[in-house]
Amino acid sequence: MRVLDGLEPQNVFYYFEEITRIPHGSGNVRQISDYLKKFATDRGLTCIQDDLYNIIIIKEASEGYEKEEPYILQGHMDMVAVKTPECDIDMTKDPLQLYVEDNRIHAKGTSLGGDDGIAIAYVLALLDADDISHPRLEVVLTVDEETGMEGAKGIDLSMLRGRRLINLDQEEEGIIITSCAGGARVDVELPLNREKAEAGTLQFVKLTVKGLQGGHSGIEIDKGRGNANCLLGRILKGLSEQFDVHMASMKGGLADNAIPREAEAVIAIDINKKERVVDLVKEYERAICQELGDKDPDFAAACSEAAWQDDCYDAVSTVQALDCLCRLPNGIVAMSKELEGLVQTSLNLGVVTMEQDKLMLSYAVRSSVDAEREQLCVQMQEIAKDAGAAAKVRNSYTGWAYRAESPLRDIIVAVYEKMYGKKPVLEAIHAGVECGILAAKIEGLDCVSIGPDMSHVHTAEESIDIASVQRMWKYLLAVLSYR
């Protein structure tokens, strides 16, 4: 029995559930790409699969729409694959476990992949139908959007005829995205020196921070939520200023574009100082809880005994690691002066690990001003260098600039007003979509981004609103048939 059987529109939810049965986290897209290629081939549709596993599928216009300008429908096939600590699903191999609650679709213990599985579901339902009126459809499904938009950067669109593109990667019904930030990833590496812990003098303890809401590092960066990696670094730094602390391990976060919810570290301390360390951690917990308030009411920090081997990092390495982590910026850097309430530039420390005698920090950097993004990356490189680390910038991509005249936007607004009886909100966002990259490949490309209501994307609490999926499906069909 399929979980989503009986939901309307049937084909949309059928294909959405099909997608959730195929592991498709970023970097693990071959299987879903092959599925999409077979889908197109089985229906006699033109399909191009490139070396990156991007997919382009073309369906000719329905009767009566042959002279209409084509539409490019675009989304991405990868998802942010995260799960709760207790979940035993292997997201590289296992299907997701869907359930429906309060008219929303969820996945048990994992992210859902509504971002951007709903785009795939919409376009497959369109391509599979013979009774829907539409111009020529040019479907573009990219890979690895969530890790730097590598698919969009590498795809060849020279064969497309369309000059109007509907991106289906928006997560709020009624808000039409018209521009977005650009971004980059910054990876920081600091070499560490390991040493033996003195037997009988040092004790290993584990520090944990948890209970944070986390969220999308673009959409929720302005919500004032705590970053587990940064908060743990703050506590460790405070401990190191009062006690002789030796780091043994640290890890936190699952993706650089998701605000981390949990982090932990193992440290070696004087065997006689454990009670004082526990007390100080509790003091930090109370202070941070007060700072976060109702933005993250369930924050908790704890200190417990740890089973560990007899090695750790020396005092110099520990100081360098904590200095590097705490000196690098995090969160909002600048707000827009033109658009009230819009974050202009930010960064998120998404992942921290200590492996192979290195501290590794992974950041997602975003800005609607390319020069400001580039300067922030340079600043991070300088801070890292001063701390004895190296910072490398990768996967940079440009933003999507607002277009003063947009015939496509006019259609989108006119259809929305007719269907909903009110105007939609036109909005610039701090998160990234692929429109800017694709517009640079097609001269005169006119873009908008739409989609149904989703919540808690990039987290294990992600869900999608069934009724909103239904409404946006009808809306999309109305746009495609408009003339």
Per the structure block, which two tokens stand in for 130?
């013979």
DSSP 8-state symbol, 54: -
What are residue 435's phi and psi, to 5 degrees? -60, -40
Confidence class of residue 267 from pLDDT cuts 50, 70 and 90?
very high
Confidence class of residue 398 from pLDDT cuts 50, 70 and 90?
confident
Whether residue 428 contacts residue 179, with contact meaning beta carbons closer than 8 Å, is answered with yes
What pLDDT digit, counting tens, does each position of 409-460 carry? 999 999 999 999 999 999 989 988 999 999 999 999 999 999 999 999 999 9
Whether residue 207 contacts residue 236, with contact meaning beta carbons closer than 8 Å, is answered with yes
Whether residue 225 contacts residue 212, with contact meaning beta carbons closer than 8 Å, is answered with yes
Q: Which residues contact 164 (CB under 8 A, 6 or more apart)?
A: 69, 70, 71, 72, 407, 408, 445, 446, 447
The predicted structure's pLDDT at residue 285: 97
The CATH code of the domain at 184-397 is: 3.30.70.360
Distances (CA, A) of 243 to 239, 265, 280, 311, 321: 6, 16, 11, 18, 16
User: Burial of 322 by CB count in 10 Å (0-12 exposed, 13-18 middle, 19+ buried)?
Assistant: buried
Whether residue 222 contacts residue 430, with contact meaning beta carbons closer than 8 Å, is answered with yes
The predicted structure's pLDDT at residue 137: 98
Enzyme catalytic residues: 78, 145
**Is the model's pLDDT at 198 over the cut of 80?**
no
Quote the percentage of the chain above a pLDDT of 90: 89
Q: What is the mean pLDDT of residues 17-42?
A: 98
The predicted structure's pLDDT at residue 431: 85
Domain with CATH 3.40.630.10 in the chain: 10-181+399-481
Of 165, 169, 173, 141, residue with least CA distance to 480? 165
Neighbours of 101 (CB within 10 A): 8
The helix (run of H) or strand (run of E) holding residue 203 is strand 202-210
Beta bridge partners of 266: 206, 249
The predicted structure's pLDDT at residue 291: 96
Topology of the domain covering 10-181+399-481? Aminopeptidase (3.40.630)
**Is the model's pLDDT at 248 over the cut of 90?**
yes
**Is the model's pLDDT at 142 over the cut of 80?**
yes
What pLDDT digit, counting tens, does each position of 277-297 carry? 999 999 999 999 999 999 999
Distances (CA, A) of 129 to 18, 57, 63, 126, 220: 17, 14, 13, 5, 37
The predicted structure's pLDDT at residue 441: 95
- Of 33-47, 128-142, 193-207, the one with minimum mean pLDDT is 193-207
Domain with CATH 3.30.70.360 in the chain: 184-397
Of 78, 77, 83, residue with least CA distance to 106? 83
Mean pLDDT of the chain: 95
